Chains A and B, each alone.
Chain A
Amino acid sequence: MKKITMTLAGASGLLLLAAMSTQAQAAPSCGLNNGQAATGEPIKVGAIVGETGPDDFSSAADSAAAYFACVNANGGINGRPIEYIVEDDQWNPEVAVQVGTKLVRDDQVVALVGSGSFVEMSMNAKLYEADGVMSMASACAVSECFESRNIVSTNEGPLPSSVGAAQWAVANLGSQNVVCIGINIPSVGQYSCGWTEKYMTSKGLTGSSILLDLAAVDLNAAVLQAVASGADTVLVNLPAALAAGFLKTVEEQGLKENFKWISSTPLYDADIPGLLGPGWVDVMHVNIELTPIDGTGEDAVNWRAIMDAYAKPEDPRDTFSQSGYLSAKFFVEAMLELDPAAIDRATVTAAIKGIANKTSDLLCGPYYVGDAPTHMPNHANMMVKVVADGFEVVGECTDVDSAYLEPVRAAEQALGIGG
């Protein structure tokens, strides 16, 4: 667990702020923006991240922590600072249950903000529902995260990312037959590749899936299967390291030119263009969950400013980081509307559920929560392509056209959200 006491961070943030105010730079903007350190009774907020293990999903909590530090240095929640408690679930379901119970029952947090994990959501969904606490997550990768009453995420997960990529390919590359290469975890691979197949069928086209084991040694066979499927487009829906291995095998076999190439969001990583090499420039198109990292909108600039002012230099500035910033921002805005003397779990849960029609240049559509058994506010996305030193936008915000989203759209209509 990283117990981050905000008072210390807030003080150092103040100093930084003072130093920065002499420079002509966009100053971070958060909370009440009054430059006063919050000194009231702390409000406990938690987060669970998968840090130690096959991958590191903690960048969302890092940026949320930076945002909360900024808020605490700028008047807090109407005078009350946020005490942010981040726990590591070590990618272990039992540990996820243990730290979830600790946060909800021992620490009595009023909400969880900025969680990012592969295992935590499915293990703790029932706990959150039973104890009436909301989790405004930021880095969700499994279906259970989007199909739970008390969990809502700012990122969109594998399904919209995969379907969005296929949708763009059909519209822009003329794809007729997409093969989706996913991992054989049902709540990830079958979930996203399955609905991509359904999308293709709904358009009168063909879709198929090849599911790999995460620890697969034999990537050759998957490549051969992709060839055998008769597809004209390959949708790479794998974690970045496995995707890189798969694409290397494709290059090895000289099969890159035989297909059109699209990918879901894991390949949107600063290291990937260099890793894949020049052979994939203008060839690989990647779907992204939020707007580009180098965006110029108000929130994009503010996010980077807050990271520079309050986060550590080694904290990644990636999509999950943007997502964590947004979760923290929407949370704080909801909290500021509450009476500071009456902030407890019940009022906070009600406030979070009342979040509606929040827009940001980091998102393609409005963010909202509501009281529903499923939540997927972020379901529109953009496409980029790999270029020599990064990525270039090739597709603007497009809503994902999948039957999976029907209950989501019904909920949006009921809440009167956007068009």
Chain B
Amino acid sequence: MSAPAPAPAMSASRPTPQLRWQSALPVVAIAAVAFVVPALASSLWLKVLTSVAIYALAVASIALLYRRLGLVSLAQIALMGFGGWVTLRLSYAWGMPFEVNMLAGGVLTACVGIVLAYPALRMRGLYLALVTLMAAGGFSILVNVIQFPNGGPGFTGFIVQSVGSMPRPALGQSDGAFFSYCVIVVALGFLLIHLHERGSPGRAWAFIRRSEAAAMSAGVNVTFYKIWGFALSGFLAGIAGGLLAGNLQHLDARSFPAAESVMLFALTIVGGAWGWLGAVIAAVLYRLLPAFLNDIGVSGNVAYIIFGVALMHAMATAPRGLAGQIEGAWKAIRNRGQS
């Protein structure tokens, strides 16, 4: 019987070159996407990919609530609309830099998210989802009445006149520059989620998801962490809304019906709510695939049919979404390579 090999010297305090390489990889990849893509993509695909980036952040905000707290929000498009509204209103009112307006939009949308948290303290599962759906429905009516700001007077900032145009951020004036700007902001948003999940909120959320009773008895302030989850989710959705306003420079009140929020949630599940890859896949399905089908001449109605059938299939067969299937396949390939 051979003696076990001696334990390696304790060098865990110094990050190994492999670890440094692994943490640098995402940064390099993000930089590559942000700065190389605009040079390669045509104007159409650049705009589509900007949309994809923005909605990836919105999907991440849904996925955060779903995987960490087991809560469903069917109001994320409405929250984006709210964030976009605030961004537009502040831009026309005081002409502050885009970043200030966007952050203000995020913070105020976080407050709305907190308001949505209160039903979450009293009900769960489908009821909670439906309450958020009702909120989304109410928002769509509200925004159709007060409309998005276009430089008019008063609190609503709207007047029937020729089209207004909000200026883009100083660092993102052209389509290409704005794409890079969006990718970086979205990456920061993902980083924010990651930091939360690694920190005490993430641990608290995991505990709450497992068993609220146990969490409470362990001293976790369940109410506080639930509200924090909604606040973060709302903040990210608001930021995404601000980016959307910057992308189109003008928002249309008819773009925010309740059904879109449900669709986005559906695609979050299809893409996979358990990681950044799922968020990106969901955003690709939401914005890139329809644009591609439109570009190759597939009738919008045929695209609807394809989408609907694929959605039913995905719901029935892939619990961890497409990202889960991809990761599973990737792991299977690696395991086969190793054994």
User: A residues touching B (Cβ–Cβ < 8 Å)?
Assistant: 1-3, 51-53, 87-88, 90, 92-95, 97-99, 101-102, 104-106, 119, 122-123, 125-126, 143-144, 147-148, 184-187, 190-191, 194, 213, 373-374
Contact = CB atoms under 8 A, between A and B. Distances in A.
A1 B295 contact: yes
> What's the interface size class on B, roughly?
20 to 34
Contacts of B252: 93, 119, 122-123
21 contacts: A2-B297, A52-B299, A52-B301, A92-B255, A95-B290, A95-B291, A98-B44, A102-B42, A102-B43, A102-B295, A105-B42, A106-B44, A119-B252, A122-B250, A125-B162, A126-B249, A147-B162, A148-B163, A185-B254, A186-B160, A191-B160
B147 A90 contact: no
Contact of A95 (B175, B294, B297): B294
B161 A1 contact: no
Contacts of A373: 162
B294 A88 contact: yes
B301 A123 contact: no
B300 interface: yes
Which A-B residue pairs are the 4 nearest by beta carbons? A52-B300, A105-B43, A102-B44, A147-B162
B47 A101 contact: yes
Nearest to B287: A94
Interface in B134-188: 141, 144-145, 147, 158, 160-163, 165, 175
A194 B248 CA distance: 28
Contact of A90 (B43, B158, B300): B300
Nearest to B165: A126
A196 B147 CA distance: 22
Contacts of A143: 160-162
Contacts of A187: 160
Given A1-B294, A102-B44, A147 B250 contact: no
B109 interface: no
A94 B255 contact: yes
A224 to B, nearest CB: 21
A168 to B, nearest CB: 25
A87 B291 CA distance: 11
A105 B175 CA distance: 11
Interface in B273-312: 287, 290-291, 294-297, 299-301
Interface in B248-273: 248-252, 254-255
Contacts of A1: 294-297
Contact of A88 (B51, B145, B255, B300): B300
B51 A125 contact: no
B42 A147 contact: no
Contact of A101 (B44, B147, B296, B297): B44
Contacts of A104: 43
Contacts of B163: 122-123, 125-126, 144, 147-148
B160 A194 contact: yes
A187 B152 CA distance: 14
Contacts, number: 94
Contacts of A374: 162
Contacts of A190: 160
A345 to B, nearest CB: 15
B48 interface: yes
Contacts of A125: 162-163
B44 A186 contact: no
A144 B147 CA distance: 15
A213 B140 CA distance: 12
Given A52-B300, A184-B144, A186-B147, A98 B48 contact: yes
B161 A147 contact: yes
B203 to A, nearest CB: 38
Nearest to B252: A93
Chain A CB within 10 Å, residue with most, of B43, B48, B175, B255: B43
Contacts of A186: 147, 158, 160
A1 B158 CA distance: 33
A93 B300 contact: no
Contacts of A53: 300
A51 B298 CA distance: 12
A104 B44 CA distance: 10
B262 to A, nearest CB: 16
Nearest to B145: A184
Nearest to B295: A1
Interface string B214-253: 0000000000000000000000000000000000111110
A94 B248 contact: yes
Contacts of B48: 98
A2 B300 CA distance: 12
A92 B161 CA distance: 21
Contacts of A92: 255
Contacts of B287: 94
B263 to A, nearest CB: 12
Nearest to B300: A52
A97 B300 contact: no
A95 B48 CA distance: 9
Given A88-B294, A101-B43, 9 more contacts: A90-B290, A90-B300, A101-B47, A122-B250, A123-B163, A123-B248, A148-B162, A190-B160, A374-B162
B248 A93 contact: yes
Contacts of A148: 162-163
B47 A98 contact: yes
A143 B150 CA distance: 14
A106 B291 contact: no
Contacts of B296: 1
Interface string B59-89: 0000000000000000000000000000000
Contacts of B251: 93
Contacts of B294: 1, 87-88, 90, 95, 99
A408 B290 CA distance: 40
B300 A3 contact: no
Contacts of A147: 161-163
Nearest to B302: A52
B51 A94 contact: yes
Nearest to A215: B257
Contacts of B160: 143, 186-187, 190-191, 194
B295 to A, nearest CB: 6
B255 A106 contact: no
Contacts of B158: 186
Contacts of B254: 93, 119, 185
Contacts of A102: 42-44, 295
B47 A97 contact: yes
A296 B165 CA distance: 45
B146 to A, nearest CB: 10
A106 B47 CA distance: 12
A88 B251 CA distance: 19
